[in-house]
Amino acid sequence: MKRVFVNINFDPHQIAESSGRLLEFTNVYGAKAHQTQRSGPIPGSIPSIKDVEDLLQKSQKINDALVRIKEVVNTQTAAIAEQQKDSNQQMANGYGPEANGYPPPDETKGAGGFAGPDPKKRRGRAAPPGRCHSCNRAETPEWRRGPDGARTLCNACGLRKFSH
């Protein structure tokens, strides 16, 4: 799956710091405006032009950063949609996961349990072992279950184990 990484090119602390400064300004001058609402403005109750211009610059930086984030989100959303479209086309043309002998990941999940019974899995016979784990014999008429698992003992060793 192709991944798209785009550099947003902004300091995340910039938004937090600028937003914090805007909130602080709003709280301070909002409280002062509320206190002087009936008496009218007094010299310390209104912000300076420099403070207002500083806040405008900070809000512009926040706006610019959010616009860049929006562009990244749009780019990545389009890339994801393109990947899904390519995947659908590959599956329609026989190049999907089924073509390699593997089922698609979505179809293998949720098949058991309450969604419906899993088909019973058939166990094939275990491959014959190379040698008996007890006597090191390679050929025997029948392989027996030993302490190491199925088909690990020759017929003679398996019978000897169960007779004692």
Per-residue model confidence as pLDDT tens digits over 128-163? 678 999 999 999 999 999 988 888 999 999 999 888
Could you report the per-residue pLDDT of 77-122, keeping only the tens digit for each? 988 888 888 777 766 666 655 555 555 555 444 454 555 555 555 5
Mean pLDDT value across the chain: 76
Would you kindly state where each structural domain of the chain is located, as residue ranges? 12-107, 129-164
Structural contact between residues 56 and 49, judged by C-beta atoms closer than 8 angstroms: no
**Given a cut of 80, is residue 124 above it in pLDDT?**
no
Most confident of the following: 4-18, 31-45, 106-120, 147-161? 147-161
- 111-149 residues labelled b (16+ CB within 10 A) or e (exposed): eeeeeeeeeeeeeeeeeebeebbbeeeeebeebbebeee
**Given a cut of 60, is residue 68 above it in pLDDT?**
yes
Beta strands in the chain (DSSP E): 144-146, 149-153
Structural contact between residues 132 and 153, judged by C-beta atoms closer than 8 angstroms: yes
**Given a cut of 50, is residue 4 above it in pLDDT?**
no
Higher pLDDT, 31 or 156: 156
Predicted pLDDT at 127: 58
Higher pLDDT, 71 or 109: 71
**Given a cut of 80, is residue 59 above it in pLDDT?**
yes
* CA–CA separation, 68 and 72 (whole Å): 6
Predicted pLDDT at 107: 47
% of the chain residues with pLDDT over 90: 13
**Residue 18 CB neighbours (<10 A):** 20
Instruction: Name 104's Cβ contacts closer than 8 Å, sequence gap at least 6.
Output: 91, 96, 97, 98
